[in-house]
A = this chain, B = another copy of it.
Amino acid sequence: MLGNTFGRLFRITSCGESYGDAMMIILDGMPAGIRITDADVQKDLDRRRPGTSPLDSPRQETDQVKIVSGMLEGCTTGAPLGMIIYNVDRHQIHVDQYRQKKDLHRPGHAELTYYVKYGDSFDWCGAGRASGRETVGRVAAGAVAKLLLARESIEVVGYVKELYGIKSRPMPFDQIKANLLKTKISCPDLEAAQKMIEATLKVKEEGDTVGGIIEVIARGVPAGLGEPAYDKISATIAHGLMSIPAVKGIEFGAGFELARMKGSQANDIPYVENGKIKFRTNHAGGVLGGITNGDDLVLRVVVKPTSTISIPQETINMVKMENTKLAAITRRDPTICGRAVVVCEAVVAICIVDHLMMARGYEAVQKLDKPFKI
């Protein structure tokens, strides 16, 4: 397996899988002199933690993080931050359950492609590295990234925009933040949230699962981040988000709606007000030519319905190469949208810090006297 490192200067490397001993995260590019505690990271991990509501998998992981390197007396030293989270809810009974089905492809899951790639030694236990557990590492790193961004007054906030067709109505940024943690589904429109939860529980009863759309807004991002050619900030964010398990699409600003608009409608008209540049609309999602324009960074990802369902399915035995049936599976998330919000925030935050470092390094060598700041 390749590719367990993400980022250029500020970068996360992670390991760990569903039923391994521990998840480890190494965060490179850490500035020195930052006060940080395990609790700062734990806060975001708790938002992702399973087993806290009927919407989640019943798996009980405490997800207790410990920072084991990169600190001296409560303060970062500049050395890479090492974080470790031990897996606790791994019982032999579950291992044995997975073992029984290890030759079967669970539709929508990755064991089929893992088997092709890694052969008989592939990790059949709890989806291995393909499990959503991998995202623990992203959330831990993202929590640190957000701390750094907060020093520049940059906020990254995600929420469930749509679930199984039920939409959150548009709301001001501050209200999104205020309501975000009020429901387990991370939807700030509390009325819609209620409907989402009810719909999900109903579908859960049927043994089924639902998907949805998460929107992430980054406010306060300075203009000028992103590299114009292959490393547009929208491109590196898309890379990071599309690598989250279950994410199958991403769009910035007006996104796919742009296919039905004319140029005169799509263009965001700028104006100067009190010496600052503003825009009448934000169809661009805050990105022009791959570079932030000072407006909110706005993007959405689609999260597919959880593949694990408790309805029997047709499938194949990968080893015997024959058709067979997969019985209903009970331990599962009726939806992962709520828990995935903080994962998406994390990836966006990591990308922004990375681009900040690249942009500031480039500028320092350029020594431009910038004529203005959006």
Contact = CB atoms under 8 A, between A and B. Distances in A.
Contact of A82 (B6, B22, B319, B364): B22
A5 B5 contact: yes
Given A32-B368, A84-B84, A358-B2, A203 B262 contact: yes
B17 A69 contact: yes
Given A15-B26, A302-B251, A232 B243 contact: yes
A360 to B, nearest CB: 3
Interface string A299-313: 000111111110101
A116 to B, nearest CB: 4
Contacts of A272: 316, 321-323
Interface stretch (A41-49, A57-65, A183-191, A263-271): A263-271
Interface in A27-42: 28-33
B13 A5 contact: yes
A264 B249 CA distance: 19
A308 B68 CA distance: 27
A309 B265 CA distance: 11
Interface residues of A, number: 174
A353 interface: yes
A213 interface: yes
A148 B23 CA distance: 24
B224 A112 contact: no
A90 B318 CA distance: 51
Nearest to A10: B365
Contacts of A26: 4, 13-15, 24, 26
A15 B81 contact: yes
Interface string A332-374: 0000000000000000000001001111111111111111111
Interface string A70-104: 11100111111110100000000000000000000
B250 A240 contact: no
A169 interface: no
A81 B275 CA distance: 34
Contacts of A171: none
Interface string A106-136: 0111101111111111111100111000100
A242 B267 CA distance: 18
A24 B84 contact: yes
Contacts of A82: 15-16, 20, 22, 24
A230 B266 contact: no
A364 B371 contact: no
11 contacts: A1-B78, A2-B362, A8-B8, A78-B366, A116-B374, A230-B239, A235-B243, A251-B251, A271-B316, A356-B364, A361-B364
6 pairs of A and B residues whose beta carbons are closest in the complex: A361-B361, A110-B289, A3-B231, A249-B251, A360-B364, A3-B227
Given A230-B243, A357-B364, 12 more contacts: A3-B231, A16-B68, A72-B125, A109-B288, A119-B371, A210-B261, A235-B239, A248-B255, A249-B250, A250-B250, A356-B361, A364-B364
